[in-house]
Amino acid sequence: MAQGDTLAIAGYSLRLMGMREATGPNYSAIVGEIELSRDGRLLKTLRPEKRTYFSSQMPMTEAAIDPGLTRDIYVSIGEPLGGGAWSVRVYVKPFIDWIWGGTLLMALGGLLALSDRRYRLRSRAEAQAGAVQGAKA
């Protein structure tokens, strides 16, 4: 994408407004400014970064994320392609936050199973049988 280019994906429109240099506490970065819109309405301005840390000189990508209830949008910038253009990766991940809901549901099921009286009675009876058998030996 070059400055002013627009990309359409999954009903969303992303427009690269430009790139600028920035300096952090221990890195220098190229920051992209990308407007995310849907149906002509601006939703958010995303700022993905390509960082180079002073200690290692290794480039790292910092993705910009627009979280939502039913989807997350990840935008990252890659390498410069020349002529002011950059490679840009965009991912739309549906229901990614719902993974945590599934984890909570499984934990709730485990707690519900632990609260079942039949399991407590069985373990008490097994403990008593083990104590009686240990006393005989």
Per-domain boundaries in the chain: 6-94, 98-136
pLDDT (mean) for 36-49: 95
Cα distances from 14 to residues 40, 42, 98, 108, 118, in angstroms, run 11, 10, 25, 40, 57
Q: How confident is the model at residue 118 (pLDDT cuts 50, 70, 90)?
A: confident
- Asked whether the predicted pLDDT for residue 135 surpasses 80, the reply is no
Question: In angstroms, rounded to a whole number, what is the distance separating the alpha carbons of residues 92 and 94?
Answer: 6
Burial of 48 (0-12, 13-18, 19+ CB in 10 A): buried
The predicted model scores a pTM of: 0.73
Which has the minimum average pLDDT: 72-81, 87-96, 103-112, 116-125? 116-125
Confirm if 16 and 36 have CB atoms less than 8 A apart. Answer: no
Question: What percentage of residues in the chain have a pLDDT greater than 70?
Answer: 87
> Residue type for 33, please?
E
pLDDT of the residue at 101:
87
Q: What is the pLDDT of residue 98?
A: 87
pLDDT bracket for residue 113 (50, 70, 90): confident
Rg (CA), the chain: 27
pLDDT exceeds 70 at position 134: no
- Whether the per-residue pLDDT at 83 is higher than 60: the answer is yes
